[in-house]
Structure 1
């Protein structure tokens, strides 16, 4: 099997967060290794990461790559550190470097946005809908809700001065929140894109409303209520719907967790450890570990790891029930993390299998009816 080089580098520049979200896969689930990580990536480690990325780009002649500043909360690392990292990377890497940041938004100020705008960093913000939906989960350690802080930041980010750096909103689905009200609350900020995230869970630790072995489709129903509105009005790009629609028309999904395209994401923690998907913290302690470090190992060493092979293996890495499924090429078995079972590893369908099947077939039927002919 020919391995596909990494093109998305997620850098955990700070291992702590100023929020205490109750569903966070980093802090609230099975892997608690964050407790032993340095709070901020050191300057030495930062330089080692940059050299390893440059090495990988040069070895594989990559024309471009994506760098995602992540955490914890990446803004806790300080804009000075972030600026030094981005500038050093663009100096050393012989490719186009697109930089983005995923933040909870509470620390975004006009001054910080000015610095990030000068670095051409695009910013994605996490928000779960209106104040009630957001403050139910996304709270400070003292219990205070975060919505009013994020609202202030989003009004800045969506304004004329900074709108060009607004990447979109990330919303974790809560079945208790009315879907259309949630969608409208997100649309109020005119985001260029919206990502709806299924709460991380596994067969061993199922997500809310998705008990192991149950056949209901609560997440599909929640999403389909929004899909019908989106399909008719298209106020913004909803990545999940857009990728599924393109896939049923014969395209190839380009997001992690859909389709059979090899995963090209790799993570570097604050101590310089090279890791698999950080969401694997939802599976078990050490699930993302590769025992590799940027000080001693090239990213190609991560490419040769068996778990990377599973993530890049396409249909051959799926459970038998997935390979015989009529929506396999669109679904791709779902997000790798969501397939985990403590007795069978990752060779299982997604814990969201009924939801994904219902969502994809419903979208396919809607598109077919609209076109007047059957799509795959």
Structure 2
């Protein structure tokens, strides 16, 4: 389904740069290394200096062209710390040198935490790079599938790294990202993560779609939605003081009609772009869970600008708002909050992404549950969102 945005392209404001394309772990569920897209095998393990230099130039060019006051730089992988903390620091400094005066670069490295040391954290903190940690939970049993390539558990090193940043460099601690596993106890898992003192949590639904459904999923039980509702209640009843939970905060904001930026909810224009280790410009990695080449654009930082990437049909579709959604989604009363869900979760072989999310029932349950809690707190909630089904 070809979709044209009704307005000029919205500039990229989040630049995800693959500084290293390999990982020191071998998580058995990893959609990137175990999924349908094996493009990583033919790319360099690490981004060469000329790739990083050209990427910094292109980011600065894009920021200047669109008069940006701020942008997000995400140092990613694989495991980005395999490139070395000094490399991450030099590249971040280079990006800051290339953007126009007055443009703030918010830099974050997303790591599995196993390679964090005091020296590396000191380098990152000194260069204004915050650290986001990916783990499956705050207990060894939650991380049983996150092993190194020799099959050894990653938990001892990962938990040590998380505690090190919480103890010694709290100002550099961005938070923890966790993919929801509905077979775990929701409150137990949430509280186990609180023990690692994250300033924020990202709870992500595992990447799946109609042709390759998520694990433990069925189309009526809303198992993931029930799990998220249980965590929401625990977070809500504690007064939201223990940590920020991005998914919940953005759901609340959207229910009040406020802008919120997330891939999972809302209709805000898509604004993220990926640069691979060979300089290829791609859409986000989550698309690689759908089919081989789903994220490809055919562009690279040596021959193309990010403005050219904005004109790619896949990017245009994700900036078209409700126009890119299935008819059922466009008539749903939850549209402005749900936004059709995560783009990758809408895929079905044969008709692409013009479908409701595979998590449609889960998202409906969560959004209505949050709306009910707001109503109980005497907060104004749009009447069309109170109870019932679309």
Q: Shorter-chain TM-score: which interval?
A: over 0.9
Which residue does 1:336 correspond to in 2? Answer: 343
Distance 1:339 1:374 in 2: 27
2:164 matched to 1:153?
Answer: no
Helix, strand or coil for the counterpart of 2:314?
Answer: helix
Helix, strand or coil for the counterpart of 1:351?
Answer: coil
Helix, strand or coil for the counterpart of 2:357?
Answer: coil
Which residue of the other structure, out of 134, 140, 152, is the alignment partner of 2:142? 134
Distance 1:133 1:262 in 2: 38
Helix, strand or coil for the counterpart of 2:202?
Answer: strand
Distance 1:87 1:53 in 2: 13
Which residue does 1:170 correspond to in 2? Answer: 177
Per-residue deviation at 1:79? Answer: 1.7
Which residue does 1:256 correspond to in 2? Answer: 263
Contact 2:269–2:321 under 8 Å retained in 1: yes
Which residue does 1:182 correspond to in 2? Answer: 189
2:216 matched to 1:205?
Answer: no
Distance 1:40 1:206 in 2: 32
Aligned length: 373
Distance 2:172 2:229 in 1: 29
Distance 1:57 1:303 in 2: 13
Which residue of the other structure, out of 341, 366, 369, is the alignment partner of 1:359? 366
Which residue does 2:221 correspond to in 1? Answer: 216
Distance 2:193 2:381 in 1: 33
Which residue does 2:232 correspond to in 1? Answer: 227
Which residue does 1:98 correspond to in 2? Answer: 106
Which residue does 2:295 correspond to in 1? Answer: 288
Distance 1:128 1:338 in 2: 20
Per-residue deviation at 1:81? Answer: 1.4
Which residue does 2:55 correspond to in 1? Answer: 49
Helix, strand or coil for the counterpart of 1:4?
Answer: coil
Contact 2:210–2:345 under 8 Å retained in 1: yes
TM-score, normalised to structure 1, is 0.97
Per-residue deviation at 1:372? Answer: 5.9
Query: Which structure 2 segments of 5+ residues have no match?
Result: 1-5, 386-390
The C-alpha deviation readout for 1:306-344, integer Å capped at 9, x for no partner, is 111111110101100111111110110111111111111
Distance 1:91 1:158 in 2: 30
2:269 matched to 1:267?
Answer: no
Contact 1:134–1:147 under 8 Å retained in 2: no
The C-alpha deviation readout for 1:201-238, integer Å capped at 9, x for no partner, is 11110001224xx2111001111111111111121111
Which residue does 2:120 correspond to in 1? Answer: 112
Which residue of the other structure, out of 18, 22, 42, is the alignment partner of 2:28? 22
Contact 1:12–1:70 under 8 Å retained in 2: yes
Per-residue deviation at 1:162? Answer: 0.3
The C-alpha deviation readout for 1:260-304, integer Å capped at 9, x for no partner, is 000100000000000001111101000000000100000011100
Distance 1:32 1:276 in 2: 15
The C-alpha deviation readout for 1:17-72, integer Å capped at 9, x for no partner, is 00011221210111010001100000011111011111111111111110000000
CA 1:144/1:319 → structure 2, altered by over 3 Å: closer, same or farther?
same
Distance 1:363 1:350 in 2: 19
Distance 1:96 1:324 in 2: 39
Which residue does 2:305 correspond to in 1? Answer: 298
TM-score, normalised to structure 2, is 0.94
RMSD: 1.1
The C-alpha deviation readout for 1:70-115, integer Å capped at 9, x for no partner, is 0000000112211210111111111211100110000000010010
Which residue does 1:144 correspond to in 2? Answer: 152
Helix, strand or coil for the counterpart of 1:27?
Answer: helix
Which residue does 1:236 correspond to in 2? Answer: 243
Higher alpha-carbon deviation: 126-135 or 71-80? 126-135
Query: Which structure 1 segments of 5+ residues have no match?
Result: none
